[in-house]
A and B are shown apart, each in its own frame.
Chain A
């Protein structure tokens, strides 16, 4: 069965939204810990981060949201996604420790390539530009699954699924043994179906954030449409 990963920004309403996503069929929930200067993100997630920060969502508050979300969906792996600056300020090891005690399954640090702080256990990312050597290195260090960035670019919905993905999946299959989940640019059930036919799972972020604006029921319905598409 293909895995469905949904990204939500950590805000006070997020635990309920995460529950709706799980009810709709999400297997894993990524929780964005907002950063003021998110280099890997396009406008939707950047704006969501700006809003969350304006509402006071700092590291401690985000950990609180993680804990409350874990209480609501205890069987769903939760994966904070953030940037190095937050870990630098909080303490790298302490951050990992506190994420774990709040119920986090792993984490993603968008601006921390595998050769910076390899000792920090996290989901590694690889991109179409990655060499075979780097894909193998990321695969050897990653925690649980490998995140395939489908395009050279930032997060955000795109009209078409990346043409670079098939080749990236093919290379990664040859080089690593962990499951491969693909993200960046996936927004519609058609995208989801097409990517899930290649990878072991898909990650949907920007579009999920936009739908989440309309509340838990809308998010549940959207996630269910993705679920149906990848299971179909």
Chain B
């Protein structure tokens, strides 16, 4: 078996056709990591184009009695943490000589980030998106079109992120010589989970330093939403060695791959997945398109088993209320994904908490307002 950094999880469960491309990617990635020019180019883009570092905001009214620091990835260009990964991978794709990019998207944030970097670098961009997600994340579909990307609807199966990911991988298998697959989360075959985690770990590196400066100490807990898990792994990484800091991942209750899943193989990796006893992948359900995914990055499954991170769920209703309350108490409209993290953070038995506010909620207004109306 190929070696994995994540115990029994991870690996490369993909058709043989892709193995040479994964080898090439892995080698290109190792070379990039060792190359100062790569870091200089990426850091330049993160600073002058994306808007890093993002601020840390103390929220005092959202959860009375607690001090919750929000890591403001919603203020990043394109409105979510996804751009950290897209910029890193596009610089890498350039080094590999790939001129065509394919990606999958659920909430549309990764699709927008990918379309954005392709526009900036003049590359062809194809984004696969489920028809159900196209319906509920319309503003992002329009943004991708404006940015020059081709959005290909996926009209079978769940019509959400799971099928969009399968179709993006099928496209990659077919066009592997010319194409880089710009995966949006810390999922997929090796080296993707590790690569995406590294590119997103800028969130935690900044947040840890900012938190120390602002609060004079480390947080008691770090809380982040988990779909595929890239913003969570990005903020967790720098805290892994801080044994006193609890790491809490919040899944959508209807898509709790870590909470209620079993070991399975999906989209190229062995991880914890929602599947039936025969290994058939189950449908996930969440109001948040970004969390509506039956798989999760293998590193999260590993951190769960090791006991280093804990994973809990939040319901659609709890996320909607947190979405509304953050808007009313702090003047910040969060995306529905981090609204799940906020819902659990405000009930956590801790006072000093760092939350990854992974994206802004403009894209979710229609869905969230209609959901809130039903609650009323």
The chain A residues found within 8 Å of chain B, CB to CB, are: 35-40, 42, 46-47, 50, 53, 58-60, 83-90, 110-118, 124-131, 134, 138, 149, 152-154
Contact = CB atoms under 8 A, between A and B. Distances in A.
A89 B270 CA distance: 11
Given A46-B156, A86-B278, A134-B19, A129 B174 contact: no
A125 B1 CA distance: 17
Q: Quick one: which of B11, B19, B279 has the most chain A CB within 10 A?
A: B279
Contacts of B216: none
A115 B266 contact: no
A113 B268 CA distance: 11
A130 B17 CA distance: 7
Given A39-B267, A85-B265, A149 B17 contact: yes
A84 B262 CA distance: 14
Nearest to A109: B13
B180 to A, nearest CB: 15
A84 to B, nearest CB: 4
Contacts, number: 127
B331 interface: no
Contacts of A58: 278, 280
A59 B278 contact: yes
A111 B13 contact: yes
A200 B155 CA distance: 39
Given A37-B162, A39-B267, A154-B173, A116 B280 contact: no
A153 B173 contact: yes
A116 B20 contact: no
A86 B278 CA distance: 6
Interface of B: 1-2, 11-21, 156-157, 162-163, 166, 169-170, 173-177, 262-268, 270, 273, 275-281
Contacts of B11: 116
B2 A152 contact: no
Given A85-B266, A154-B174, A39 B1 contact: no
B16 A127 contact: yes
A111 B19 contact: no
B173 A116 contact: no
Given A117-B1, A118-B1, A138-B16, 13 more contacts: A37-B163, A37-B267, A39-B166, A39-B169, A39-B268, A85-B266, A88-B265, A89-B279, A111-B13, A111-B265, A113-B12, A115-B12, A134-B19
A152 B174 contact: yes
A37 B266 contact: yes
Given A37-B162, A89-B275, A116-B11, A131 B173 contact: no
Q: Quick one: which of A42, A59, A118, A154 has the most chain B CB within 10 A?
A: A154
Contacts of A115: 1-2, 12
A130 B280 contact: no
A50 B17 contact: no
Given A39-B169, A40-B173, A53-B280, A113 B267 contact: no
Contact of A84 (B20, B265, B280): B265
A160 B1 CA distance: 36
Q: Quick one: which of A38, A46, A85, A127 has the most chain B CB within 10 A?
A: A85
Given A37-B166, A89-B278, A116 B16 contact: no
A69 B163 CA distance: 32
A90 B279 contact: yes
10 contacts: A36-B280, A59-B279, A84-B270, A89-B262, A89-B275, A111-B14, A124-B16, A127-B17, A149-B16, A152-B176
Contacts of A59: 278-279
A118 B12 CA distance: 13
B279 A86 contact: yes
Contacts of B170: 39, 42, 154
Contacts of A40: 15, 173
Contacts of A42: 170
Contacts of A90: 278-279
A113 B16 contact: yes
B13 A112 contact: yes
Contact of B16 (A46, A50, A60, A126): A126
Contacts of B262: 89
Q: Quick one: which of A36, A46, A88, A115 has the most chain B CB within 10 A?
A: A36
B156 A50 contact: yes
B177 A152 contact: yes
Contacts of B2: 115-116
Contacts of B16: 113-114, 124-127, 129-130, 134, 138, 149
B161 to A, nearest CB: 12
A85 B275 contact: yes
Q: Quick one: which of A39, A90, A131 has the most chain B CB within 10 A?
A: A39
B191 to A, nearest CB: 14
